[in-house]
Chain A
């Protein structure tokens, strides 16, 4: 039998994938800061309702439209509800809508992209032309159109935002699939007799995973913004709920008199989207440096 050569073999120290990822990510200072900010939002979304100083739904007609003070950090609204508490409680709703719609869009888009990229030919052409049609509409207009068909409501906002996320995921995953498909180890897997579905889901998909994660982070910001916009237009969350977009929408009439009503919801949307974008940039630099342009 062949000589066992392993005794003197050099063996690079086994470094976990996660560990080497963390080691590289830690150098992206702003991205790390954004990551912690996002974690904070997640924590708020989970435990927010039990730590807020005031009940976000209880009106207090003695303190209506008050500016920021130590008692009410972000002031109160036209019913005297504490804006700060409402923002914290609203995190769950706004993030939830954003995350679920992007995840939905990502799953559908990834499957389409994998199929399109791997099979090519007419399958690819059909899927990509349909995506082009969707790309031709401005995002928000498309969402409004979908809601016009499905009717308003949070659930339909999720579906609408998910639908306009599908083509962009499909296109990115298709591009990556085209690249991975040509790699030698895919050919090697074909040569042992693997089926197409095995190759696509066991071999091609894991290679596209980091691209998907990066794209997911970046699109999450846009999705939160879109959901907020739809709520602002009165097509999403009910105006009385503490959704950030709905809060903005309600405060429109008081813009001149109570600036803080517009400012704080706007600020938190801005910070969330900004942090997600920075985090996405950082992730891309680490996970998928080639796609940088």
Chain B
């Protein structure tokens, strides 16, 4: 059990042409207070849907949560009324998105957008809210904070907008910040600034961060613990050092291997054959088996469970205790 957030057996499906397609299928993980946890995976692995499910922001779309528990400080968020959920969103759990332009209201001044949440959640007076807003802007490294309060989002650059988004998210001092690809739309030098800022906020205020990204570099840079997702499932979970040093799941290994790394020029990059399976046509058994170099017979027939090994977890037949598969594999060699 983790002391801030526990996600258990989360299942989210999307309705597509009268067909229910599971995008997130039985995801388990947790976050401790003040921890930075990363979820990595390629597009379509369900990492963003997981975060939207935690925030229960899927209501207006065709997706809905089918099963599971999301316990935040002892309370199951999935049981809450929409009204009580609103009190948690923004105040206890805040979220920032990939595209800072579309997630800010283009016709509202920055100051007003910031103060909205402060007045709503912290019940501050207008003057107090304004002061708090300016302080928050300063704390995320925005110069001329007083002037920025009266500007519109389009007057700011991408990096500044993302800082404003972070300021809005941090203004009510949430205990958990969910960041969905916060630096993907930004340039590298700006990305470095934003990542630095997020690390600082975590160490200064003890905010826990759930970092959703496809970029292994970002994960290595900021996260304490990493969850690797593939085809709607958690395939591996480990501390960041363990994960990069000794990845267990073949997918994690391949993913790390296929990233081009500065200073390691190779004539040929390692590449994983094939593609992420379509949610409509999931393979039986392990979802990675068709692309896996170590696939055994059992992998195509039966899906492995997420099993713990000391402090880490993985979902692979290669490491299942007293499994039939390993013997088969050894036998075949």
Contacts and interface: CB of A to CB of B under 8 A. Distances in A.
Contacts of B265: none
B275 A9 contact: yes
B274 A7 contact: yes
B277 interface: yes
Contact of B291 (A3, A8, A11, A13): A8
B286 to A, nearest CB: 13
B278 interface: yes
A16 to B, nearest CB: 13
Most buried by B among A5, A7, A23: A5
B273 A10 contact: no
A12 to B, nearest CB: 6
Contact of A5 (B274, B278, B280, B281): B274
A10 B276 contact: yes
Given A8-B291, A13-B280, A23 B274 contact: no
Given A3-B273, A23-B17, A8 B278 contact: no
Interface string B248-283: 000000000000000000000000011111101100
A85 B148 CA distance: 74
A5 B17 contact: no
B141 interface: no
Interface residues of A, number: 10
Nearest to B281: A10
Most buried by A among B273, B276, B277, B291: B273
A145 B290 CA distance: 72
Contacts of B280: 12-13
Interface in B116-169: none
A10 B277 contact: yes
B290 to A, nearest CB: 5
A10 B278 contact: yes
A39 B290 CA distance: 51
A27 to B, nearest CB: 11
B274 A9 contact: yes
B17 A8 contact: no
Contacts of B17: 23
Interface string B266-308: 0000000111111011000000001100000000000000000
B276 A8 contact: no
Nearest to B283: A8
9 contacts: A3-B273, A5-B273, A5-B274, A7-B274, A8-B290, A10-B278, A11-B278, A12-B278, A23-B17
